[in-house]
Amino acid sequence: MKIVMLGAPGAGKGTQAKMIADKYQIPHISTGDIFRANISNGTELGKKAKTYMDQGLLVPDELVVDLVVDRVQQDDCKKGYILDGFPRTIPQAEALTEALKKLGEKVDFAINVEVPDENIVKRMSGRRACVSCGSTYHIVYNPTKVEGVCDKCGNELILREDDKPETVKKRLDVYHEQTQPLIEYYTNEGVLVEVDGTKDMKDVFSAIVDILGA
């Protein structure tokens, strides 16, 4: 099962992708997480990506496409995978379709998690991310047992640099301009499904399981 998660920044793609990966035992591939890991490891890729991410801009396609196309051909992806944060532009989607076509494969589901812009800024300012394992929480909707401490690994939680309200607004503009056209792209491919992302996390997940099958 090959799945692409679509939706605005903060729509809950990462939250749902982790739950899907867990239930269906397929890898969760988040380009945002890959870039953040590269930033904390001080790699060349991380240094380049950071300059764009801090401004709420997309990292250029040429830094993303090969990385994902290589990743989805690794052994653990044979049963399928869930792409979170990729593709994000029409050229990225076309590159993925082309690469999969060469392997005789295709995306099975593009899940669009719908949340209006007005809910997003509120959500993002409450998100907290673990500096170590990348787990995400929300101070109101998904709090940790101990404030400021990751439930999974016990490390510190932070507000991501790009979750500050001014940057979130820029990311939303970029989303509408460059990423939203993918809804039409995957509708035309016949694989788009939509879920209401304003519901409780568990209800959003149930709606997704109803679509994917138990």
User: Which residues lie closer than 8 Å to 3 by C-beta, 6 or more apart?
Assistant: 20, 26, 80, 81, 82, 83, 107, 108, 109, 110, 111, 212
- Residue 134 found at the interface with ligand AP5 (CB under 6 A): no
Which of 90, 159, 201, 212 is close enough to bind ligand AP5 by CB under 6 A?
201
Q: Taking the complex as a whole, how short is the minimal distance between the CB of residue 130 and ligand AP5, in angstroms?
A: 12
Nearest one of 77, 56, 69 to 171, comparing CA atoms: 56
First vs last Cα of the chain: how many Å apart?
Answer: 13
Catalytically annotated residue among 2, 123, 127, 128: 127
Is 127 designated active site?
yes
Is 123 designated active site?
no
- Residue 7 found at the interface with ligand AP5 (CB under 6 A): yes
Nearest one of 180, 202, 186 to 8, comparing CA atoms: 180
Per DSSP (E only), the strands in 8-163 are 28-30, 81-84, 109-114, 127-130, 136-138, 157-158
Q: Taking the complex as a whole, how short is the minimal distance between the CB of residue 147 and ligand AP5, in angstroms?
A: 14
Is 128 designated active site?
no
- Residue 31 found at the interface with ligand AP5 (CB under 6 A): yes
Which of 24, 46, 50, 52 is close enough to bind ligand AP5 by CB under 6 A?
52
**Segment interacting with ligand AP5, rule: CB under 6 A, options 2-10, 100-108, 149-157, 186-194:** 2-10
